[in-house]
Amino acid sequence: MKMSLLNRFLPGITIVVALLIWEFSTRYFGIKEFILPAPSVVLATAVTIAPELMRNMWATLSVLLVGYGLGVVLGIALAVLMIILPPVRRALYPLVVMSQTIPKIAIAPLLILWFGVGPEPKVFIIALLAFFPVLVNTVAGLEGTDRGHLELMRSVNANLWKVYRHVRLPAAVPQIFAGLKLALTVSVIGAVVGEWVVGNQGLGYLLLAYNSSLLTANVFATLLLIILISAVLFYSITRIERVFSWRARLDS
């Protein structure tokens, strides 16, 4: 029981210890605030600029959720199509892999030319980043379905929908959610980078503005908010996973 409690609180204890070391080091060595502000300074700054952070957070969160959702839907849909129709996989899979070798920031000028300077280029970048891990993991999960279960469904003349509804998709749930989690991490990065390239609002835009003004404490406060957003979204996905996956419920 004691080891279980220790394992549960160990990440929090590690973070607290790291923050204390950080706070002590900045004060003991007299590190200037514009180089590395102490955690207490970052927290105080976050409270001071909270209205600006909240206003820009919604701008980032809106494009993040739209782009992430679009990438997830397209990734799962194309994965199912590739399993149902192998020629589609042979035709499209190499092109999908090749598309991931192109730096997304390199195509930003084209996206601005095609979609303008609104939220559309950022949504496209996020969707493109989220699409690939969801597609790859879903394909792997669908292919890993137990052959005995598939033969059983064929023996009772189950149609394609029932095979996917009762066998393939449930078997692929752990892999699908692994892809969703990976896609979330790259989507947050994509949202921030997208705001570096195009946009006059959002947390990525704030990072550039604060950094150019040497407001390091503001930069750290913005990064802290980005980390919190990522943690909340990641935790939400793990909670949803427990609804659909018995394996996740067993591990928790």
Rounded-to-integer distance, Cα 241 and Cα 218, Å:
35
Q: Which of 68-77, 189-198, 208-217, 240-249 has the lowest mean pLDDT?
A: 240-249
Q: Please report which residue ranges of the chain form alpha helices under DSSP H.
A: 2-28, 39-48, 50-84, 86-99, 108-115, 120-143, 147-155, 160-163, 169-197, 203-212, 216-244, 246-251
82 Cβ contact list (under 8 Å, min separation 6): 88, 89, 92, 93, 139
Residue 102 DSSP class: S
Question: Two tokens at 114?
Answer: 């095609």
Rounded-to-integer distance, Cα 55 and Cα 146, Å:
49
For the entire predicted model, the pTM comes to 0.88
What per-residue confidence (pLDDT) applies to 200? 79
- Express each pLDDT in 24-37 by its tens digit: 989 888 888 888 99
Structural contact between residues 76 and 133, judged by C-beta atoms closer than 8 angstroms: no
- Express each pLDDT in 65-96 by its tens digit: 999 999 999 999 999 999 999 898 888 888 88
Rounded-to-integer distance, Cα 56 and Cα 156, Å:
55
What per-residue confidence (pLDDT) applies to 32? 87
- Express each pLDDT in 44-67 by its tens digit: 999 999 999 999 999 999 999 999
Buried b / exposed e across 22-51, counting CB within 10 Å, b at 16+?
beeebeeeeeeeeebbbbebbbebbeebee
Rounded-to-integer distance, Cα 202 and Cα 210, Å:
12
205 Cβ contact list (under 8 Å, min separation 6): 56, 195, 196, 199
Distance of CA 158 to the CA centre of its chain: 36
- Say how many residues make up the chain: 252
| Angle at which helices 203-212 and 50-84 cross, to 10° | 130
Rounded-to-integer distance, Cα 98 and Cα 11, Å:
38
pLDDT at 1 over 60: no
